Amino acid sequence: MEHWIIQSANALSFASILFLLAAGFSITFGMMRVLNMAHASFFFLGAYIGMETLKRSHNFLLALVVASLFMGLAGLATYRFFLRRFSREEEFPQALLTIGVLLVASEVVRWTWGGRVYLPSGPTFATGSIALGGLIFPKYRLFLIAVGAAVSVVLWVLLTKTRLGALVRATADDAEMSQGLGVNTRYLFMGVFGLGAMLAGFGGVLAAPVLGLYSGLDWEALLLAVVVVIVGGVGSFYGLLVGSLAVAFVDTFTRWFMPELAWFTIFLPVALILAFRPHGLMGKPQ
C-alpha cells in the first residue's frame, strides 16, 4: 500500500512536469495549427536561465519570473519573425524552420554552459523530505504537484470560462469570421504564442531540480511533449490534462511492475492507444 501511494505521487509529479511542458505546445498546435518544434527549446533555455538567476539571487521565485519573462519574449519573437509568415497548411516548412531554431538554441546552450549535468536546487521551503509513518517523500515533488494542479486550474478557467478563451477558440475555428467581428487575430495569436512559451520556460525551471539539465534534454523533452499532446488528443484542454496523466501513470507503473518492458514504456502504449483511438484519448475525429 505504501508503495502504491509513493508511486502514485511519483507519477503525479511527473505528470505535472509533462503538463507544464506540453501546455504551450498543445495550445499553439491544437488551436492555432502552428507546429513549433522549438517549443522544447523554451523549456530547455528557460531552465538554464532560471538556474543562472537562482545562482546569483538565491531566489527561486525570481528565477521563475525571469525565465518566464525571457521565454515569453523569445516566443513572441519566434512567432513574429518566423512562424507568422506561414499559413496553417505549411506544416512541414514550419517544422523544419523550428527544428533549425531548436538546433541553434541547443548548441548555444552547450557553448555557454557546456554539456555537463547540472541539478539546481528548489526553493528552501521545499528542500528535503517529509516522513509520514513509513513513507518518505521529497517535499519538492509535493510542491511540483501543487503547482501543476494550480496551473491547470488557471488554464482551465482561462481557456474555457473567459472571454479571452472564447476568442481564441473562435479564432482558431474561423479566423476570418473573428476578424470580421473586430478581433485583432494577429495580436491575439501572438499573445497566445507568447503565453505558451512563457509556460514552457516556467515549466523548465520547475522541472530542472528533478530532471537535471544537460545537453540533449531538449530533444527528450520534445518527444515527450509531442507524445502527451497526441495521446491526449489534439486541441483541447482536457486532452492535454488526460494526456499528461496517462503518459506519467503508464510510464511509472510499467517500470514498477514490468521492469523488463522499461525500454518500451511510453512508445509501446502510444502505438497501441493510437492504433485503436487514432485521434487520441480525448480527441474528436476531424
Partner 1 sequence: MRTKRVLAFLGVLVLLLAACGPAATATPQRVVQTPTPTPGEPIRIGHLLALTGPFAGIMEIFNPGVDCAFEEVGWQVAGRPIKLVREDTQFKADVALSKAKKLMEVDKIHLGFGPQVTFEAQAAKEYLTQSGIPWITSDLALPDWAQKGTNIFHVGPIPQQAFTDDVLSYIYNDLGIRKAIVYSQDHPGGRLWSQGFMDGFKKVGGQIVQENYFPPDIVDHAVNFPKLKVGEADAIVTALWGAAAARFVKQADEYGLTKKTKVLGLASMVEDDTTLPAVGKSAVGIVSLYALPPPDYDNPAYKRLNDCVAGKIKLPPGMAIQGYLEARAAIEAIKAVKGNVEDRGALLQALRNVSFDSPQGAFSFQECQLGRRTIFVKKVVEKAGVVQNEMLKTFASAPFCP
Partner 2 sequence: MRTRIGLLVVLGLGLILAPSFLGPWQTGILTRALIFAILAMSLDLLMGYAGLPSLGQSAYFGTSAYVVGLMTTRATASFWLNFGAGLTSAALLAALFGLLALRARAVTFLMITLALAQVVWALASSGRAVTRGADGLPGIGRPDLGFLPWSFDSAASFYYLVLAFFIITAVVLHRIVRSPFGLALTGIRDNEVRMRALGYNTWLHLYIAFIIAGTFAGLAGIMDVYFNSIVTPASAGVMVSADPMLMIILGGPASLLGPVLGAFLIVPLSEVVSVFTEHWLIVMGLIYILVMLFARQGLLGVLRRKAEAPG
Shortest Å distance, C-beta 96 to partner 2: 4
Total residues belonging to the chain: 286
When binding is defined by CB under 8 A, the residue of 1, 3, 111, 257 that contacts partner 2 is 111
Stretch that binds partner 2, among 5-13, 170-178, 190-198, 270-278 (CB under 8 A): 270-278
Cβ atoms of 248 and 14 within 8 Å: the answer is: yes
In this complex, which beta carbon is closest to partner 2, that of residue 2 or of residue 107?
Answer: 107
Minimum CB distance to partner 1 smaller for 70 or for 140: 140
Which residues contribute to the site for partner 1 (CB under 8 A)? Answer: 3, 6-7, 10, 14, 107, 110, 114-119, 128-129, 131, 136-138, 140, 210-212, 214-217, 220, 252, 255-256, 259, 262-263
Please state whether 84 falls in left (phi above 0), alpha (psi between -120 and 50) or beta: alpha
Sign of CA dihedral 121, 213, 68, 12: negative
CB 268 within 8 A of CB 261: yes
Task: Kindly state the cell numbers that stand for 103.
Answer: 538546433
| Maximal CA-CA distance, the chain | 62
Please identify which residue in 91, 135, 137, 183 interacts with partner 2, judged by CB under 8 A.
Answer: 91
3 state DSSP class of 137: strand
Rounded to 5 degrees, φ, ψ at 233 are 115, 130
- Do residues 71 and 194 make contact, with C-beta atoms less than 8 angstroms apart? no
Q: Give the CA count within 13 Å in the CB-facing half-sphere of 16.
A: 27
9, 65, 95, 167: which one contacts partner 2 (CB under 8 A)?
95
Residue span 49-88 as binding mask against partner 2, x where in contact by CB under 8 A, dash where not: ---------------------------------x--xx--
Q: Which does 138 bind (CB under 5 to 8 A by kind): partner 2, partner 1, none?
A: partner 1
Name the residues that contact partner 2, by CB under 8 A.
82, 85-86, 90-97, 99-104, 106-108, 111, 223, 226-227, 230, 234, 260, 262-264, 266-268, 270-271, 274-275, 278-280
